[in-house]
């Protein structure tokens, strides 16, 4: 028999399977804990370790355990499956406020500015989103505002070609001038969405962090109110470091949302729970998550689906 018959490629697996597989190392396991149907202290200790190891963070872990203890007692939960579902519910409850669709019709053009630390996945994510937007029948224009490296412009140009969309760039130009041109062009062409790619920068590089303000204002000069979305792209494998990135980028440029990449193969996927918990009072939407380098490896964030993947349940559990 041809092996190919049984071979499921990464793409054929479907997004949920890729997410669940990708989170295998993060998985909050509920194993070997039920001796004689008793949910004992050892169970809660092991669960605590598992949550901390997944980068859920100490405070959120404490909250989850407290609620879970209450639920177990109140509902008299006894089996592993019952507890797994209750844990899923707890995690989903924390994540739910961050699940929000970007309003693509709020402005025309809708101007999106992408930022993040070096290598977080900004440019790749813009490529993936461009395809997703085309599927929503939206026209897109890209601004190559990462003017530091010629390679960055070329990388965006490749994604542009792949999606058959225009990329506005200037060799060695000023990022503020590039975004000004792109937003102006989007306005005059009647483009639905303009996305600005920016150079990677670290929260400690204050001059580069301040530059974000200049790039931002240039968009506002071309179109009042732009950028409408300021999105921080974070690498899921950075774990708890992501919390610092969110705080600093938010302080410099008032974020409106997040995209979490590289959830394929990370042991720290629980950081989404930490992010949601940290901003429980003032939720920052997680618009998309990425599970790979291919163009289809990006989907809108779904709290129920993510919580299921995290505890090892099926998509429709
Ligand atoms: N495994 C995996 N790799 C990803 C994902 N998203 C991006 N990458 C990879 O991460 C690397 C960096 O991606 P880029 O898109 O160039 O990151 P960037 O933020 O634009 O980087 P700079 O512009 O240099 O700051 C590339 O090798 C991507 O293929 C993802 O979801 N999963
Ligand atoms: Mg880039």
195-254 pLDDT per residue, tens? 999 999 999 999 999 999 999 999 999 999 999 999 999 999 999 999 999 999 999 999
2: confidence class by pLDDT, cuts 50, 70, 90: very low
9: confidence class by pLDDT, cuts 50, 70, 90: low
Q: What is the pLDDT of residue 89?
A: 97
Say how many Å lie between the CA of residue 118 and the centre of ligand 2. 7
Q: How far apart are the first and last CA of the chain?
A: 34
Alpha-carbon span 103 to 228, nearest angstrom: 10
Alpha-carbon span 13 to 259, nearest angstrom: 22
Counting ligand 1 atoms within 8 A of each CB, the residue from 10, 119, 196 with the most, and so the one to mutate, is: 119
Cβ atoms within 10 A of the Cβ of 4, count?
Answer: 7
Q: Which ligand is nearest to the CA of 200?
A: 1
Q: What is the pLDDT of residue 35?
A: 52
42: confidence class by pLDDT, cuts 50, 70, 90: confident
31 has pLDDT over 60: no
63 has pLDDT over 80: yes
259 has pLDDT over 80: yes
Helix-, strand-, coil-residue percentages of the chain, each rounded to 5: 50, 15, 40
Counting ligand 1 atoms within 8 A of each CB, the residue from 124, 142, 197 with the most, and so the one to mutate, is: 124
Q: What is the pLDDT of residue 1?
A: 41
Q: What is the pLDDT of residue 38?
A: 67
Residue nearest atom 14 in ligand 1 by C-alpha distance:
121
Locate tokens 């690498």: which residue?
A: 235
Say how many Å lie between the CA of residue 310 and the centre of ligand 2. 29
Q: What is the pLDDT of residue 79?
A: 83
Kindly state the tokens that stand for 68: 């879970």
Closest to 156 in 3D by CA, of 190, 182, 192 = 182
* DSSP string across 56-72: --HHHHHHHHHHHHHHH
Closest to 167 in 3D by CA, of 148, 188, 186 = 186
Q: Give the ligand 1 atom nearest the CA of 118.
A: 25
125 has pLDDT over 90: yes
Say how many Å lie between the CA of residue 197 and the centre of ligand 2. 7
Q: What is the pLDDT of residue 6?
A: 47
Cα–Cα separations (whole angstroms), residue 204 to 245, 246, 252: 10, 13, 12
Q: What percent of the chain has pLDDT over 90?
A: 73
Residue nearest atom 17 in ligand 1 by C-alpha distance:
121
Q: Which ligand is nearest to the CA of 261?
A: 1
Q: Which of 3-7, 33-37, 90-94 has the lowest mean pLDDT?
A: 3-7
Q: What is the pLDDT of residue 12?
A: 62
Alpha-carbon span 253 to 241, nearest angstrom: 18
37 has pLDDT over 90: no
Q: Which ligand is nearest to the CA of 153?
A: 2
Please state the pTM of the whole predicted model: 0.94
- Determine contact, residues 193/139, Cβ cutoff 8 Å: yes
Q: Give the ligand 1 atom nearest the CA of 290.
A: 31
Locate tokens 């974020």: which residue?
A: 255
Alpha-carbon span 163 to 165, nearest angstrom: 6
59: confidence class by pLDDT, cuts 50, 70, 90: very high
Alpha-carbon span 302 to 57, nearest angstrom: 21
Q: Give the ligand 1 atom nearest the CA of 127.
A: 15
Q: Which of 36-45, 144-153, 298-307, 308-317 has the highest mean pLDDT?
A: 298-307
Residues with CB under 6 A from ligand 1: 116, 118-124, 146, 152, 200, 261-262, 264, 290-293, 297
Q: Give the ligand 1 atom nearest the CA of 116.
A: 19
Average pLDDT of span 16-32:
82
- Determine contact, residues 263/289, Cβ cutoff 8 Å: yes
> For the segment 145-185, what is each residue's pLDDT rounded down to a tens digit?
998 788 888 898 898 888 889 999 887 789 999 999 999 99
- Calculate the CA 170 to chain-centre distance: 29
Closest to 167 in 3D by CA, of 276, 108, 158 = 158
Say how many Å lie between the CA of residue 167 and the centre of ligand 2. 14
Residue nearest atom 27 in ligand 1 by C-alpha distance:
293
Alpha-carbon span 249 to 229, nearest angstrom: 13
Residue nearest atom 10 in ligand 1 by C-alpha distance:
121
Residue nearest atom 26 in ligand 1 by C-alpha distance:
121
């Amino acid at each position: 028999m041809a092996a190919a018959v049984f071979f499921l490629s990464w793409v054929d697996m479907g997004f949920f399977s890729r997410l669940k597989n990708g989170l295998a190392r993060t998985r909050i396991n509920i194993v070997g804990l039920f001796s004689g149907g008793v949910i004992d202290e050892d169970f809660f200790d092991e669960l605590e370790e598992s949550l901390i190891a997944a980068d859920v963070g100490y405070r959120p872990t404490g909250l989850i355990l407290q609620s879970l203890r209450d639920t177990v007692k109140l509902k008299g939960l006894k089996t592993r499956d019952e507890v797994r579902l209750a844990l899923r519910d707890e995690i989903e409850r924390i994540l739910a406020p961050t699940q929000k669709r970007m309003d693509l019709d709020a402005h025309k053009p809708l101007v999106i500015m992408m930022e993040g630390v070096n290598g977080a996945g900004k440019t790749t994510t813009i490529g993936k989103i461009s395809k997703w937007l085309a599927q929503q029948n939206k026209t897109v224009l890209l601004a190559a505002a990462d003017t530091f490296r010629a390679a960055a412009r070329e990388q965006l140009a490749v994604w542009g070609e792949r999606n058959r969309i225009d990329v506005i760039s200037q060799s060695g130009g000023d990022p503020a001038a590039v975004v000004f041109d792109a937003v102006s062009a989007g306005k005059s062409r009647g483009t639905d969405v303009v996305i600005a790619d920016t150079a990677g920068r670290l929260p400690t590089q204050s001059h580069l962090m301040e530059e974000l303000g200049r790039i931002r204002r240039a968009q506002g000069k071309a179109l009042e109110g732009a950028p409408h979305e300021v999105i921080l792209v974070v690498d899921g494998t950075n774990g708890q470091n992501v919390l610092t990135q969110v705080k600093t980028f938010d302080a410099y440029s008032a974020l409106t949302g997040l995209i979490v990449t590289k959830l394929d193969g990370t042991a720290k996927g629980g950081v989404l729970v930490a992010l949601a918990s940290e901003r429980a009072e003032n939720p920052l939407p997680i618009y998309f998550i990425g599970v790979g380098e291919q163009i289809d490896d990006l989907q809108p964030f779904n709290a129920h689906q993510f919580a299921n993947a995290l505890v090892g349940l099926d998509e429709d559990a």
